Amino acid sequence: MSTQRVPLEALQKIRQHFKTALLAPEAENHPEMYLDREEPPAPTSLEDLGSLFHFGGSLEDALQMPNCQGQWFISSANPGTALMKLPGLKLKPKFRLVSYLYRMGDDGMGVTWAVPEQFSTTAHLEEALLTAEGRDRPPKPEHALSDFMDAIDGDHSSMSYVIASLLRRELLEFGKMGRIATWSHHRLINSLPNLPNWQWRSEAPKDYSPKVRVFPDGRVAVEFFSCRTVAPIAVFQHVDHYLAGQYRSQHLDRAIALSQLTNGAVKH
């Protein structure tokens, strides 16, 4: 077994790339701001351009329009762009990543699926909206993979698995807002934050550095740590196990220490 430490700065750059790439148009994050407009706002990016298609249309199309009344709708964002300009990972041929969004007031939910290209048309994606019921039963398009990571391929280098671990978490977080957001409140760390009164739930790690372990049979394990920066403030351990040649993982995310910081928040 070989173990490789990964610089924290490398993880931070990869995560920043994902956070920049995985952005829903403003008209989908805050649709209430545009409901009373007779004309859509001028697009400032390709993502915003996609939102133009949500304006106008018939009453039958209302369920597919961005709204803040708790009805799922198709996002015009393309999550697959997150894989562009990244070494080591790519989307498998003839697959697309598609997302649905849910908005209720200031809170938001999102779900992303990997779908074969022939079933990624708007007509196919709209059919799934008919079976969605509230926040906890999102739409799932026909022939969507149960895990979008099964549509990810790569060069199987050690670093590609680190990227895959971050990609999965960022895609799961895509579309989440307000009280539903979780991973967005985590800061990657390589040492214990200097906060008072840590209460340990397990033995304190001796090394917080991000690591990749490669086993002789081709299995890979990725381990890194984060600090949740909102109450309850906590240090989390993240461990992903990959079978040889796969980017779908068995994953563990657990709080290993809680802080009794009185002001309830940590600066990023």
Pair 72, 146 in one domain = yes
Exposed e or buried b per residue across 221-247, where buried means at least 16 C-beta atoms within 10 angstroms of its C-beta: bbbbbbbbbeeebbbbbbbbbbeeebb
* pLDDT given at position 152: 99
- Rounded to 10 degrees, the C-alpha dihedral 36/174/209/231 comes to 60
Residue 17 maps to a domain:
no
What CA–CA distances, in Å, run from 247 to 161, 179, 202, 232, 237?
Answer: 7, 30, 28, 31, 20
Pair 209, 140 in one domain = no
Mean pLDDT, range 17-24, rounded to an integer: 96
Cβ–Cβ under 8 Å, residues 168 and 149: yes
Pair 37, 143 in one domain = yes
Q: Is 136 left (phi over 0), alpha (psi -120 to 50) or beta?
A: alpha
Q: Which residues pair with 104 in a beta bridge?
A: 69, 107
Mean pLDDT, range 186-201, rounded to an integer: 96
Number of domains in the chain: 2
Q: What is the pTM of this model?
A: 0.87
CA 104 – CA 70 distance, rounded (Å)? 5
Domain that holds residue 134: 24-76+89-154
Pair 147, 190 in one domain = no
pLDDT band at 267 (very low <50, low <70, confident <90, very high): low
Residue 166 maps to a domain:
no
Pair 132, 254 in one domain = no
Residue 62 maps to a domain:
yes
Give pLDDT tens digits for 120-170.
999 999 999 999 988 999 999 999 999 999 999 999 999 999 999 999 999
CA 21 – CA 18 distance, rounded (Å)? 5
Pair 117, 36 in one domain = yes
Residue 169 maps to a domain:
no
* pLDDT given at position 56: 44
Exposed e or buried b per residue across 20-44, where buried means at least 16 C-beta atoms within 10 angstroms of its C-beta: ebbbbbbbbbbbeebeeeeebeeee
Pair 140, 186 in one domain = no
Per-residue pLDDT for 54 more than 50?
no
Residue 7 maps to a domain:
no
Residues in the chain: 268
Q: Looking at 117-264, which runs of residues are DSSP E strands?
A: 152-154, 186-189, 198-200, 211-214, 220-228, 234-242, 249-259
* pLDDT given at position 202: 94
Residue 236, φ and ψ in degrees, nearest 5: -115, 140
Residue 160 maps to a domain:
no
The pairing of beta strand 95-104 with beta strand 186-189 = unpaired
